[in-house]
Chain A
Amino acid sequence: MSPSTRPTCARLAAWGGTCVLALLAGCDPGGGAAQLAAQLAQPGAVPSEADLAGVHVPPPPLSEGIFPCTDCHDPEIPVNTQRREMRTAHTEIRFEHDAEHRWCLDCHDTANRDQLHLASGAPVAFEESYRLCGQCHGDKYRDWRAGVHGRRTGRWDGEKSYLLCVHCHDSHSPRFKPLEPMPAPIPPRRSP
Chain B
Amino acid sequence: MSPSCSEELAPSRRDFMCALAGCAAATAGLCVDPTHTPFFRDHLRELAPDEIARLLHEKESELTARFGRAVTVGMEPPRPGVEFAYALDLTRCVGCRRCVYACVEENNQSRDPQIHWIRVLEMEKDKGVDFAHADAYYDAEQVPRPGHFYVPVACQHCRNAPCVKTCPVGATWQEPDGIVVIDYDWCIGCRCCMSACPYGARHFNWGEPDVPAEELNPKTHLLGNVPRPAGVVEKCTFCIHRVRQGLYPACVEVCPVGARKFGDLNDPASEIRYILEHKRVFVLKGELHTLPRFYYFFGA
Interface positions of A (Cβ within 8 A of B): 14, 28, 30, 32-33, 35-36, 39-40, 42-47, 51, 143, 146-158, 163, 168, 176, 178-187
Contact = CB atoms under 8 A, between A and B. Distances in A.
Given A39-B265, A150-B258, A156-B263, A181 B248 contact: no
* Best-buried of A146, A147, A148, A150 by chain B (most CB within 10 Å): A148
Contact of B257 (A35, A168, A182): A168
Contacts of A178: 94, 142-144
A29 to B, nearest CB: 8
B210 interface: no
Interface string B264-293: 111011110111111100000000010100
Contact of B248 (A156, A168, A176): A156
Contacts of A45: 268
Interface stretch (B17-25, B31-39, B131-139, B190-198): B131-139
A155 B242 CA distance: 9
30 contacts: A14-B277, A28-B289, A30-B159, A32-B159, A32-B160, A32-B291, A36-B159, A36-B265, A39-B265, A40-B277, A43-B268, A43-B273, A43-B277, A46-B274, A146-B271, A146-B274, A148-B279, A149-B258, A151-B255, A151-B256, A154-B248, A155-B247, A156-B246, A156-B247, A176-B94, A178-B142, A180-B141, A184-B139, A186-B114, A187-B137
Given A42-B268, A152-B271, A154-B248, 8 more contacts: A32-B160, A39-B266, A44-B273, A148-B279, A150-B258, A155-B248, A157-B264, A186-B114
Contacts of B264: 156-157
Given A147-B271, A152-B271, A181 B277 contact: no
A182 B266 contact: no
Interface in B63-103: 83, 89, 94-98, 100-101
Contacts of A147: 261, 271, 274
Contacts of A44: 268-270, 273-274, 277
A162 to B, nearest CB: 9
A156 B264 CA distance: 8
A149 B252 CA distance: 13
B159 A148 contact: no
A177 B48 CA distance: 54
B299 interface: yes
B100 to A, nearest CB: 6
B1 interface: no
Interface in B222-255: 243, 246-248, 252-253, 255
A36 to B, nearest CB: 8
Nearest to B82: A157
B85 to A, nearest CB: 9
A173 B251 CA distance: 27
A157 B84 CA distance: 11
